[in-house]
Amino acid sequence: MFIRSLFCVLVHITIGWVTSPAFGEVSVGEKLFALKVKPLFAQKCMACHGDEPKKIKGDLDMRTRESLLLGGETYEDEVLIPGKGEESFLYILSTRVEEGMEMPPKEADKLTEEQTWGIRDWINEGAPWPSQERVAMIQKKYAEGEQVVTSKALSDDWQKRRYETKKLWAYRPLKVEKVPEDEHPVDWFVNRKLKEAGLDPAPDSSPLELYRRMSFGLTGLPPGRLEAIKFEREFGNSHDALLAHAQELMASPHYGEHFARHWLDVARYADSAGFANDYARPNAWRYRDYVIRSFNNDKPYDRFVKEQVAGDEMDPTNSENLVATGFLRMGPWEQTGMSVFKETRQMWLDDVTDSVGQTFLAHAMQCAKCHDHKFDPVPTRDYYGMMAVFSTTQFAERKAPFLSSESKEGFDTFAQLIQSKVSSYEKQKRKLAQKINQLKKAETGNAKVGDNGLDPGDEASQSRIFKNLIRHRIELDRVEPVTHAVYTGKTVPMKNVQGRLNIPEDPWAKGYLDPDVIYDGGSVYAQGEAVRPGGLSAAESLGGMTPRPFPADKGKRRLALAEWIVNEENPLTARVMVNRIWSWHFGRGIAGNPNNFGGTGELPTHPALLDYLADWFMKNGWSVKKLNQLILSSETYRRSSRHPDSDSLEKKDPKRLLFASFIPRRLVAEEIRDAMLLASGELNFKVGGIPARPDLNPEVAFQPRQIMGGTASVYEPDPLPSQRNRRTIYAERIRGLRDPFLEAFNQPGPEASCELRQTSTVAPQALTLLNAEEVHDRTLAFAARLLKERKKEPAVIQRAFALALGRSASADELSACIERWKQATAAEKEKAPVSKTYSQKIKRTVMAEKTGEPYDFWEILPVYETYQPDLQGSEVDARTRGLAHVCLVIFNLNEFSYLD
């Protein structure tokens, strides 16, 4: 009682004190409060200490000075002791010295030293708490940082909050500097920074190194030996030769394959839907080929964007446009009999909003789904505005006649194989049905209990066969002239989606319109305020975009968004793509997070260069090929990866942000596999078409894989080597069955968008490259090829180096390899390799869901009726097998996997 009344007195006094300074005169403490402390509270504290009055943590309410003086359950009146900053726990906890009571609790949210000082100084000044109006007045007069006009925030404080100017870079209009005429723009900007840092650039790479870099960089394949030698000669005469060679590489269809690989990482391409059933997306491959085609034809990037976001709304009679919209459905998604449609529909709406945001605008939209964005000027209203663009977007496998540019190769054999699989299951199904009819007895008890006279696996097999029949029938759609696409119309609730979805005759007849609203707290069951379809309001206000209202109702909402994205006034779009392309060449972006241009992403190291390139890109018709040429023709691109003064490089640019030397990189998973196939002479260069099924680690291929209702069919590779040994981009990507070889070398999973590949070095990679059957198949074919092309030992080894490493072997290397070859040949002579055999059926043991007991079953593998293995050890002599050991060593060399 006594304490309480003391408080009352104290509160009284302090309130009196706060209001005492003469109106208009702003005290130091007031300024600290209005400019630093209050915004800090709003950003870091109020989520737990006031925003939700019913859920205040630790009983500490920070909404008013009075409540703060009362304190919370742990520190009571020691939380805020006006005049005594160092002793107030508000300050002490913010410095994180009290273990277990660090505030804010999240390490990532911790205050900077300067911020904690602001709190301390404010308390030392008596902790004044001016009124809201007065705070607004002080902020207006003195505030640093800037406010951003956005659509409208959920909270007033957020609306008024201020941003560090430098973190708003991505929303501002491009600032294009003039580059002197005789200067290469890339070098002009890069060298200026180097000069500032007092760092000399590395000299040019050797022509052969440079050409290998170009070849992998533009096509993902090692250079041809003859082309490399030609380049070396011509580049020696004049550096201008580089451009012609770059153009030649970009004219090859493999350029599109390689650049598509980059794009598909961002788009999360896969040939299956993921999750419980992991059903095939039989027509997804047409989207993959669309991307390849687009890069090969140098489709202007603005058109490329528009087609993917709104191709159907532009012109639904054009197959190209429909195929492009597959992008919108690339994420994992399924609707099973167990799912609530409203929720799965919302999962997709969230997914597409986020993925469009990340891909084209470098904004992870999901961060604004439940609350206004914590760091960036993206209010929740913008999130739902962009989501509303997709309210009328619906799924369909639409009719889309094949274009002459699409490959229809292998349709028949594929369909036949699947048919035989289907027939084998149907036969088993009939047999099982007979058995069940004969043996099944009525169950005892008042409910079905399973004592029905059947074996533990009978009913499980029934359901497994039923499910796999559905799965394979879906696969048959792969060769049909339909495409994985969308249309605009009302939402029609779906139950169990397993197969083709058709477009209704009148898309506006049945179903309902998804509400265009904010879902409070991100819950689809909590409809809040209405929103209009729209883009990012900060990009409009800071970027100075002319407002263009989006249509609602039955209008073409996606087309409006697409046009908004590619509008040349949009400050984000060109910057985002230019930054991606830069990162594909240099291994890091000018801005370090290609999917995140917000305040928490890394700031651009060369903002002027980024802006210059973005502007140049648009002025040059959004041409990716032209941009590649501009980048490749720079000194910066040509630089050696080995800096002559590594000490000074380490000192002045430890993070390698200044591009003083080229950053070496390991090949990505796909490049490693493709390079082996190319060296061995097995690579099938065909472009496009239905997914290939390469050989997979057999233990993984045959391992039972659970799906809803049973076990998925075994992975069966294509029967012919030429079908299997295609470029990796054509390998079927099954979400629930990753290729362990590719996974080992950091191929990202197709669940989330990958902004840039990661590289790790772990021992399982060594195991894979040393031991995997697929690698041994390559080495044997490589050895056989070498012996076919060259006779004498030194010539054979020289040829191996030329094909695999693009250079000749030194005398030392030559003798070491020949010595090993001889030794291995001697050892191989003692061996009698046996041919691998392939069974046309396999016995598998799994657990039956209904009975909880294990059971066996036989699965028929029709592909092994016609399967032709790659070259086998038993087919060649000991000398070839001996050479294969040397080839294995070559494929395992650092030099093979690393680009200078």
Partner 1 sequence: MSIHKPNLVANLTRREALYGLSGGLGSLAFASMLQAEGAHSIGSHHPAKAKRCIFLMMEGGPSHIDTFDPKPALTKRHLQKFKRSGDKESAMSSGERYFVQSPFDFIKAGKCEADVSAEWHHLKNHVDDLCFYRGCQVESVNHPTACYHVNTGNRFGGDPAVGSWVTYGLGTLNDNLPGFVVLPRNSYPQGGASNWSNGYLPADHQGTPLRPEGSPILDLHAPAGVTRKDQRHNLDLLAKLNGKHFKARPDQGELDARMSSYELAYRMQMEVPGILDLKGETKKTKEAYGIGDSKTDSFGRKCLLARRLVEKGVRFVQAYAGNWDSHDYIERAHGSLIRSVDKPIAALLGDLKERGLLEDTLVVWCGEFGRTPDNGIRGGGASYGRDHNAKAMTMWFAGGGCKAGHTIGATDEIGAEAVECVHHIRDVHVTWLNLLGLDDNKLTYYHAGRHKQLSQFGGEVIRELIA
**Residue 170 is a binding residue for partner 1 (CB under 8 A):** no
Find the shortest distance in angstroms from Cβ 771 to partner 1. Answer: 4
| CA gap 287, 289 in Å, rounded | 5
147 exposed, middle or buried (CB, 10 Å; 0-12, 13-18, 19+)?
A: middle
Residue 195 burial class via C-beta count within 10 angstroms: exposed 0-12, middle 13-18, buried 19 and up: exposed
Among 145, 481, 704, 869, indicate the residue that binds partner 1 (CB under 8 A). 704
- Which of 28, 149, 526, 770: binder of partner 1 (CB under 8 A)? 770
Here the tokens at position 467 are: 């499910």
Question: Applying CB under 8 A, which of residues 495, 548, 829, 841 lies at the interface with partner 1?
Answer: 495
Residue 508 within binding range of partner 1, rule CB under 8 A: no
Residues 456-475 that bind partner 1 (CB under 8 A): 459
Q: Say how far apart CA 726 and CA 674 lie, in whole Å.
A: 8
User: Which of 664, 681, 794, 869: binder of partner 1 (CB under 8 A)?
Assistant: 664
Residue 387 tokens, joined = 């989501």
Site stretch for partner 1 (CB under 8 A), options 150-158, 268-276, 626-634, 858-866: 268-276
Nearest approach, Cβ of 3 to partner 1 (angstroms)? 28
From 83, 236, 450, 644, residue interacting with partner 1 (rule: CB under 8 A): 450
State which amino acid sits at residue 616: W
> Is 740 a residue that touches partner 1 (CB under 8 A)?
yes
Query: Should residue 446 be labelled a site residue for partner 1 when binding is judged by CB under 8 A?
Result: yes
Q: Using CB under 8 A, which of 172, 738, 790, 807 touches partner 1?
A: 738
Q: What is the DSSP letter of 659?
A: -
For partner 1, the binding residues in 82-141 under the rule CB under 8 A are: 99-100, 105-108
Give whole-number Cα distances, 243 to 123, 288, 617, 713, 844, in Å.
65, 28, 18, 50, 57
Q: Give the 3-state secondary structure of 575-601.
A: HHHHHHHHHHHHCCCCCCCCCCCCCCC
CB 594 within 8 A of CB 360: no
Instruction: Kindly state whether residue 448 participates in binding partner 1, applying the rule CB under 8 A.
Output: yes
Residue 500: is it exposed, middle or buried by C-beta count within 10 angstroms (0-12/13-18/19+)? middle
| Segment lying near partner 1 (by CB under 8 A), choices 113-121, 201-209, 235-243, 756-764 | 756-764
Rounded CA separation 386/868 (Å): 51
Which residues in 629-648 contact partner 1 (CB under 8 A)?
641-643, 646
Q: Are 720 and 868 in contact (CB under 8 A)?
A: yes
> Looking at 587, 688, 717, 719, which residue binds partner 1 (CB under 8 A)?
587
Give yes or no for a cis peptide into 180 (omega within 30° of 0): no
Whole-angstrom Cα Rg for the chain: 32
If binding is defined by CB under 8 A, does position 756 make contact with partner 1?
yes
Q: Which stretch binds partner 1 (CB under 8 A): 244-252, 384-392, 679-687, 823-831?
A: 823-831
Q: Does 626 bind partner 1 (CB under 8 A)?
A: no
Which residue from 337, 401, 551, 644 is in contact with partner 1, where contact means CB under 8 A? 337
Binder of partner 1 out of 665, 724, 733, 799 (CB under 8 A): 665
Considering only 7, 117, 341, 838, the residue that binds partner 1 (CB under 8 A) is 341
Q: Is 849 in the site for partner 1 (CB under 8 A)?
A: yes
Measured distance CA(94)–CA(116) in Å, rounded = 6
**Binding status of residue 859 toward partner 1 by CB under 8 A:** no
Q: What is the dihedral of CA 824, 829, 832, 838, to 10 degrees?
A: 40
Among 319, 468, 723, 768, binds partner 1 (CB under 8 A): 768
* 146-147 and 162-163 strand pairing: antiparallel
Residue 652 binds to partner 1 (criterion: CB under 8 A): no
How many residues touch partner 1 under the rule CB under 8 A: the total is 124
Which residues in the 511-550 window bind partner 1 by CB under 8 A?
Answer: 525
Binders in 16-75 for partner 1, by CB under 8 A: none
Q: Of residues 502, 703, 840, 868, which one binds partner 1 by CB under 8 A?
A: 703
The answer to the question of residue 449 lying near partner 1 (CB under 8 A) is yes
Site for partner 1 contains 763 (CB under 8 A) = yes
By beta-carbon proximity to partner 1, the closer residue of 198 and 852 is 852
Neighbours of 159 (CB within 10 A): 17
Q: Give the other-Cβ count within 10 Å of 565's Cβ.
A: 23
Decide: residue 851, CB within 10 A, 0-12 exposed, 13-18 middle, 19+ buried: middle
Nearest to 801 by CA among 882, 677, 876, 891: 891
- Residue selected from 762, 808, 822, 835 as contacting partner 1 according to rule CB under 8 A: 762
